[in-house]
Amino acid sequence: MIGAEQDIADMLEELSEEYDLETTPYTIAGHTFSFVSVRDSYALLDRISPEDFVKDEQMPYWAEIWPAAVTLSEFIVERLDVAGKKIVEIGAGVGAASVAAAAMGADVLATDYSREALRFIRLNALKNNVDLNEERLDWRCIHRDDRFDMLFAADVLYERVNLLPIVNAVEKMVKPEGCAYIADPRRRLAEQFLDLAFENGFSVTSYAKNFSRGKQIIPVTVYRLSRSPGEHV
């Protein structure tokens, strides 16, 4: 434990030299979590060079804990049986949902396109005393051949260009008998995503939820994609 505490302290010191950090506690179904994120992700925009933006149009969305990520984490802890399951999260950001799944006994691979996000995922796994693996992954071009029991994603349906690649990621990375859970704050693009999912042979079940923190209430829907219809939660 002492070694882990020192690793956490070293990582916090290193990251605090580069970012304005914020630590946020969450209690989900009696389980206490603590996640480190960037206080203001928009402050990171100046770090993106024009060349990198033209190449990837990569925004620092990974740096915050979005309401959909918290809602998905709650859904995992409260409603899913993930113990012993092989799980991948795409667009994991700082890793909230991945950490929640690992805490429930899942074998988790947390992925994000941003290499900076992976540093926060490692830190948050240590802070919450869970084991998981992290890896850089571009959902537009997946080269992995292994498949997972479940795929998780939160707040990834924010640009039209992402919709088909995410459907394809579910197709490529999830076992035929597996499923994906995608949490979204009811963006308009979610309807187009569902249309693409139906066109590609997926059944979809929707779970209406609310993110609540203080006086803030944000509607979030968790979509379950699978090859077999019906309720499985």
Asked whether 177 and 227 are in contact (CB, 8 A), the reply is yes
Using CA atoms, how far apart are residues 54 and 226, in angstroms rounded to an integer? 35
Q: Specify the amino acid at residue 3.
A: G
pLDDT in tens, the chain (233 residues): 567 899 999 999 999 999 999 999 999 989 999 999 998 765 565 655 555 544 555 667 899 999 999 999 999 999 999 999 999 999 999 999 999 999 999 999 999 999 999 999 999 999 999 999 999 999 999 999 999 999 999 999 999 999 999 999 999 999 999 999 999 999 999 999 999 999 999 999 999 999 988 888 999 999 999 987 655 55
Asked whether 178 and 151 are in contact (CB, 8 A), the reply is yes
Residue boundaries of the structural domains of the chain: 2-226
The burial class, CB within 10 Å (0-12 / 13-18 / 19+), for 35 is buried
Which DSSP symbol is given to 46? G
CA gyration radius, the chain: 17
Cα–Cα separations (whole angstroms), residue 57 to 107, 136, 163, 184: 31, 17, 15, 21
**CATH code given to domain 2-226:** 3.40.50.150
Using CA atoms, how far apart are residues 118 and 85, in angstroms rounded to an integer? 22
Comparing CA positions, the residue from 18, 58, 55 lying closest to residue 39 is: 18
User: And the tokens for 107?
Assistant: 């074998």
Using CA atoms, how far apart are residues 37 and 108, in angstroms rounded to an integer? 20
User: And the tokens for 7?
Assistant: 């690793």
